[in-house]
């Protein structure tokens, strides 16, 4: 009797010990974790930012967390960040494959695909296609300017009034990437775009939200009809909408004369008929990835930009003076004009710095056993880049905690880009839409500021600059008053 009791105790003890999460040897430190739960109790699920700041203060710039049973390392500060994603680039270029969002997106596309052939080929394909296009007869700049005309039309209708710019900027960003992908834009009340934008924003919020965290922590709840199902439904809706669009292209395209990215992809499929990497299903997810990545990011950056410009009218005015001077006699701005607009450049970069649009980047994963800041990190560890920590880092910026374009100007008033500026991340996984995004931000902001004044409405109260938390940060909804500038 006594012996079997002791044996039973041993067994129980042994099982608990096995379940108890342990950090590997010389792993970055972090709070002790519980079996199954990991560190979930250390974080307030609705908005973990403050808790994470506390952890960083106790454990340093490189610390670790258990997300359920999985280990994650959080990287803060420019030094460790560069060591990981630039110096040891390929070691850190993977993507975790066992999260909510992987299941939702079926492990296809480009953004969340692990380091390997499919990712590399799709990335290369996208970059090459973006570069060659122009696309068909029109340059990328022209496509952006075309869309700006629709923004102007919307603003013209609201002169003297206060409008909510959220939907307008979301649709504009979405249309620009749609021009590149599908060769078409959509009216702002079109069903395709309305449903797509809604699905995107919902997925973005769900993915960083409490239900996804529970999904990642408790594998056994994954099949249950809980709110995270919405993510799966939305992706299915998107897939179905895209299917229609892609089938249309198949009917109307002229092989060898692609007019947009989808038609380039279909040509590529013709060239490699037996290659499973380039397939209809891949194209569907790939197009959705590019559309998604190009919509919420650019539009939230623009929204933050105008929020700040309205509340710092002297900065808005100085932009306008520079724009008027450089564009005098020209009917519109081109991207090359940025070289003559150091102040405008500084403002746009400062907007990107404070808007921090993708605060935790996209999660990376180590592709082999490696080292960081003297710690050992095994293959398959989730890596969370805290881009916010870099953009606010003391010692890297003249004014880390305020909105001030001087952060990007030297004593001579010339534009300079500090090392710690990395809203697009860096290394092999760096945002592949950077070129497009920068062109959009410049042309849209310059063109609109040249023609309009943007004014914080009298009845709007004090502005709230704290963003809404998600994969992408968005400013709280606001209204802006539009006035035609007399000089333009």
Ligand X SMILES: *[C@@H]1O[C@H](CO)[C@@H](O)[C@H](O)[C@H]1NC(C)=O
| β-strand partners of 67 | 38, 70
Chain centre to alpha carbon of residue 173? 13
Output the smallest distance, CB 380 to ligand X, in A. 20
Does the annotation list 431 as a binding residue?
Answer: yes
Quickly count: other Cβ atoms within 10 Å of residue 233's Cβ: 12
| Binding of residue 106 to ligand HEM (CB under 6 A) | no
Output the smallest distance, CB 312 to ligand X, in A. 22
Output the smallest distance, CB 33 to ligand HEM, in A. 25
C-alpha 129/C-alpha 286 separation (Å) is: 13
Output the smallest distance, CB 359 to ligand X, in A. 7
Q: Which does 53 bind (CB under 5 to 8 A by kind): ligand HEM, ligand X, none?
A: ligand X
| β-strand partners of 409 | 415
CB contact at 8 A, 122 and 293: no
Binding string, 285-324, against ligand HEM, x = CB under 6 A? ----xx--xx--xx--x-----------------------
C-alpha 236/C-alpha 242 separation (Å) is: 10
Go through the chain and tell me how many residues it has: 488
Q: Which does 320 bind (CB under 5 to 8 A by kind): ligand X, ligand HEM, none?
A: none
Output the smallest distance, CB 357 to ligand HEM, in A. 4
Output the smallest distance, CB 474 to ligand X, in A. 18
Q: Coil, strand or helix: which one is 159?
A: strand
Contacting residue, 431, 439, 444, 480, with ligand HEM by CB under 6 A: 431
Output the smallest distance, CB 136 to ligand X, in A. 43
CB contact at 8 A, 55 and 65: yes
List the interface residues with ligand HEM, window 406-425 (CB under 6 A): 423-425
CB contact at 8 A, 64 and 71: yes
Q: Which does 432 bind (CB under 5 to 8 A by kind): ligand X, ligand HEM, none?
A: ligand HEM
Q: Which does 81 bind (CB under 5 to 8 A by kind): ligand X, ligand HEM, none?
A: none
Structure tokens at 222: 């994954």
CB contact at 8 A, 438 and 468: no
| Binding of residue 16 to ligand X (CB under 6 A) | no
Q: If you compute the radius of gyration of the chain from its CA atoms, what whole number of angstroms results?
A: 24
Beta-strand relationship, 70-75 and 382-385: parallel
Output the smallest distance, CB 297 to ligand HEM, in A. 3
Binding string, 34-73, against ligand X, x = CB under 6 A? ---------------x--xx--x-----------------
Contacting residue, 356, 388, 453, 472, with ligand X by CB under 6 A: 388
Q: Where are the alpha helices (DSSP H) in 221-341?
A: 229-252, 261-271, 280-311, 313-327
Run of H or E residues at 78 = helix 78-82
DSSP E strand boundaries for 310-463: 364-365, 370-372, 375-377, 382-385, 452-455
Q: How many residues bind ligand X (CB under 6 A)?
A: 11
Q: Which does 423 bind (CB under 5 to 8 A by kind): ligand X, ligand HEM, none?
A: ligand HEM
Contacting residue, 389, 404, 453, 472, with ligand X by CB under 6 A: 389
| Binding of residue 123 to ligand HEM (CB under 6 A) | yes
The residue whose two tokens read 């939200």 is: 209
Q: Which does 144 bind (CB under 5 to 8 A by kind): ligand HEM, ligand X, none?
A: none
Run of H or E residues at 163 = strand 162-163
Which range in 128-136, 231-239, 344-352, 380-388 contacts ligand X by CB under 6 A? Answer: 380-388
Rounded to a whole number of angstroms, the distance between the first and last alpha carbons of the chain is 95
**Backbone region of residue 383 per phi and psi (left: phi > 0; alpha: psi in -120 to 50; beta: other values):** beta
Q: What are phi and psi of 256, to 5 degrees?
A: 85, -10
Nearest residue to 120 (alpha-carbon basis) of 262, 267, 277: 277
- Residue nearest ligand HEM, CB atom distance: 433
Q: Which does 301 bind (CB under 5 to 8 A by kind): ligand HEM, ligand X, none?
A: ligand HEM
Which range in 131-139, 234-242, 383-391, 440-448 contacts ligand X by CB under 6 A? Answer: 383-391
Q: Coil, strand or helix: which one is 219?
A: helix
CB contact at 8 A, 383 and 364: yes
Output the smallest distance, CB 111 to ligand HEM, in A. 4
Q: Which does 297 bind (CB under 5 to 8 A by kind): ligand HEM, ligand X, none?
A: ligand HEM
Cβ proximity to ligand X: between 63 and 182 the closer is 63
Binding residues: 431
Binding site for ligand HEM (CB under 6 A): 110-111, 123, 177, 289-290, 293-294, 297-298, 301, 357-358, 361-362, 364, 423-425, 429-433, 436-437
Binding residues for heme: 431
């Amino acid at each position: 009797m006594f012996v079997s009791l002791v044996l039973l105790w041993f067994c129980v003890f042994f099982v608990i010990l096995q379940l108890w999460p342990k950090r590997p040897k010389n792993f970055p430190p972090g709070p002790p974790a519980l079996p199954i739960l990991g560190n979930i109790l250390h974080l307030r699920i609705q908005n973990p930012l403050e808790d994470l700041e506390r952890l960083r203060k106790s454990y340093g710039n490189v610390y670790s967390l258990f997300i359920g049973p999985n280990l994650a390392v959080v990287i803060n500060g420019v030094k460790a960040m560069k060591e990981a994603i630039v110096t040891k680039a390929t070691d850190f270029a993977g993507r975790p494959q066992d999260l909510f969002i992987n299941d939702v997106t079926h492990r296809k596309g480009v953004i969340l695909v692990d380091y390997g052939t499919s990712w590399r080929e799709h990335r290369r394909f996208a970059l090459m296609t973006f570069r060659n296009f122009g696309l068909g007869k029109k340059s990328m700049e022209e496509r952006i300017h075309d869309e700006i005309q629709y923004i102007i039309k919307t603003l013209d209708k609201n002169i003297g009034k206060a409008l909510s710019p959220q939907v307008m900027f979301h649709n504009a960003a979405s249309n620009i990437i749609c021009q590149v992908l599908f060769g078409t834009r959509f009216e702002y009340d079109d069903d395709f775009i309305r449903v797509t934008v809604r699905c995107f924003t919902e997925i973005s919020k769900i993915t960083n939200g409490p239900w996804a965290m529970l999904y990642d922590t408790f594998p056994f709840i994954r099949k249950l009809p809980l709110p995270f199902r919405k993510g799966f439904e939305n992706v299915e809706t998107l897939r179905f909408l895209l299917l229609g669009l892609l089938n249309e292209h198949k009917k109307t395209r002229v092989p060898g004369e692609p007019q947009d990215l989808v038609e380039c992809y279909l040509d590529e499929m013709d060239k490699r008929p037996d290659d499973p990497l380039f397939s209809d299903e891949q194209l569907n997810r790939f197009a959705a990835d590019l559309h998604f990545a190009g919509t919420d990011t650019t539009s939230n950056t623009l929204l933050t930009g105008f929020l700040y410009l309205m509340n710092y009218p002297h900065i808005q005015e100085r932009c306008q003076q520079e724009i008027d001077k450089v564009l005098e006699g020209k009917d519109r701005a081109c991207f090359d004009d940025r070289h003559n607009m150091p102040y405008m450049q500084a403002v746009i970069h400062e907007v990107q710095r404070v808007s921090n649009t993708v605060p935790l980047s996209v999660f990376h994963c180590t592709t082999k056993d490696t080292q960081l800041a003297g710690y050992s990190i095994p293959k398959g560890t989730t890596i969370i880049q805290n881009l916010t920590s870099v953009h606010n880092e003391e010692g890297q910026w003249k004014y880390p905690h305020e909105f001030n374009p001087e952060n990007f100007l030297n004593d001579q008033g010339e534009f300079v880009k500090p090392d710690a500026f990395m809203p697009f991340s860096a290394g092999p996984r760096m945002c592949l839409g950077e070129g497009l995004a920068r062109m959009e931000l410049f042309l849209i902001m310059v063109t609109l500021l040249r023609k309009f004044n943007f004014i914080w409405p009298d009845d709007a109260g004090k502005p709230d600059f704290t963003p809404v938390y998600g994969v992408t940060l968005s400013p709280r909804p606001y209204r802006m008053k539009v006035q035609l500038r007399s000089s333009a």
